[in-house]
Amino acid sequence: MTRAYNFNAGPAAIPLEVLQQAQEQFVDFQGAGMSIMEMSHRGAIYEGVHNEAQSLMRELFGIPDNYHVLFLQGGASTQFAMLPMNLLQSGKPAAYVQTGAWADKAIKEAKLIGETVIAASTASDNYMRVPELSEIQVPANASYVHMTSNETIGGTQFQSFPATGDVPLVADMSSDILSRPIDISKFGVIYAGAQKNLGPSGVTVVIIRDDLAKDNPKTIPAMFRYETHAKSNSLYNTPPSFSIYMMNLVLKWIKAKGGVAQIEQFNRDKTKLIYDAIDGSGGFYTGCAQPQSRSVMNITFRLGSEELEKQFIKESEKEGFVGLKGHRDVGGLRASTYNAVPLESCQALAQFMVDFQKRNG
């Protein structure tokens, strides 16, 4: 069997061990004579998986007891709307840190619900950096302040987060959740679609402080209220059971690797190989993000011409590399190096980059 060098931005690589385990358990889960997909979500076997995924998430990410871990649907894009529906109060603007295309989408949705302000923006730098924490200005009466911890398209990432006092800090961690240890107590809400670092698409993880998941406005339909899901252990309606099962396997894999701090080190080692190839190329490759804002998850870079970029993609595909084309909005090249991307893939890419330069430099 040949596995591709998978640098997809999401859905993205899943650990081979996890896929194989799922394959083994696919038809008959725990001797039940059926797949996990065919079981009631109210039964003991499914509930065991559901609760195990929650407690592993708590353990691995160091989530304090006064937070709920919710498993929702609709992707991070639904959170762009659900968040302001629940937390944006009248007369108290929602503050947004504008660092790229995903932040822009979140802002657009919040504007449909209420008043927003821009707490900091790097639009004038083409989103090729994240702001310094000192640039972030949050009105004292803000309902919350929203950041995108890692901008998947631009390839920028925050290395630290501000202390926001009484204003809840909210982070879209879709593209870097569980890639590094985080002090959860700084945040009111963290959300992430699963399809980059947690498993397949279909489940969205929302980590939310207790006080923000209660007394949500009564005018919000049940499915869109955090309180509904917090009260019912994310079993108000049928959950995406297979996605949650897969996520549980990924969480066990992270634990077996030594946990999130260990994963961070793996990620840094992997990414360094590729950034070194860019920086050592004498300008043949140029990194898009400013060095201090570079992401450990999405490496964005360019070649001297679009022609050469097309050639790079074509030749890389022939050698088994997948997903290196930049996002359609910005062009260029992008290597997404999420948790499950093996070191070997990054070594192979770094080598390919050197060889490609030799042929075309």
Query: Contact residues for ligand PMP (CB under 6 A)?
Result: 10, 75-77, 102, 148, 152, 172, 174-175, 193
Q: Return the closest-CA partner of residue 181 out of 70, 264, 268.
A: 264
Residue with smaller CB distance to ligand PMP, 148 or 316: 148
CA distance 306 to 322: 18
DSSP H or E run through 255: helix 241-256
Is 76 among the annotated ligand-binding positions?
Answer: yes
User: Hey, what are 202's tokens?
Assistant: 């279909």
| CB 297, min distance to ligand PMP, A | 9
| CB 330, min distance to ligand PMP, A | 13
Given the residues 125, 166, 186, 196, the one annotated as active site: 196
Taking the mean position of all CA atoms in its chain, how far away is CA 328? 19
Is 122 among the annotated ligand-binding positions?
Answer: no
Is 73 among the annotated ligand-binding positions?
Answer: no
Distances (CA, A) of 171 to 32, 192, 356: 39, 9, 38
Residue with smaller CB distance to ligand PMP, 105 or 186: 105
Residue with smaller CB distance to ligand PMP, 10 or 162: 10
- Cα dihedral 232/237/242/248 (nearest 10): -10
| CB 195, min distance to ligand PMP, A | 6
Is 119 among the annotated ligand-binding positions?
Answer: no
The residues near 128 (Cβ < 8 Å, ≥ 6 apart) are: 122, 154, 156, 288, 289, 290, 293
Residue with smaller CB distance to ligand PMP, 102 or 356: 102
Q: Using the 8-state DSSP alphabet, how is residue 259 labeled?
A: -
Residue with smaller CB distance to ligand PMP, 86 or 148: 148
CA distance 52 to 49: 5
Residue with smaller CB distance to ligand PMP, 102 or 127: 102
Is 42 among the annotated ligand-binding positions?
Answer: yes
Q: Return the closest-CA partner of residue 332 out of 288, 295, 293.
A: 288
| CB 10, min distance to ligand PMP, A | 5
| CB 61, min distance to ligand PMP, A | 17
Given the residues 172, 176, 252, 253, the one annotated as active site: 172
Would residue 102 show up in a list of annotated catalytic residues for this protein? yes
| CB 99, min distance to ligand PMP, A | 10
Would residue 253 show up in a list of annotated catalytic residues for this protein? no
Is 210 among the annotated ligand-binding positions?
Answer: no
Distances (CA, A) of 197 to 46, 193, 251, 267, 314: 22, 9, 10, 12, 27
Q: Using the 8-state DSSP alphabet, how is residue 66 labeled?
A: T
Residue with smaller CB distance to ligand PMP, 69 or 353: 69
Given the residues 102, 252, 270, 325, the one annotated as active site: 102
Residues 335/299, Cβ–Cβ less than 8 Å: yes
Is 253 among the annotated ligand-binding positions?
Answer: no
The residues near 219 (Cβ < 8 Å, ≥ 6 apart) are: none
The residues near 204 (Cβ < 8 Å, ≥ 6 apart) are: 71, 72, 73, 74, 75, 76, 78, 79, 191, 192, 193, 194
Sign of the torsion formed by the C-alpha atoms of 244, 248, 253 and 255: positive
Q: Write the secondary structure of 273-305 as one string of H (helix), E (strand) and C (coil).
A: HHHHHHHCCCCCCEECCCHHHECCCEEEEECCC
Would residue 172 show up in a list of annotated catalytic residues for this protein? yes
| CB 105, min distance to ligand PMP, A | 7
- Residues annotated as catalytic are 102, 172, 196
The annotation places the binding site for pyridoxal 5'-phosphate at: 76-77, 102, 152, 172, 195, 237-238
Binding-site residue set for L-glutamate: 42
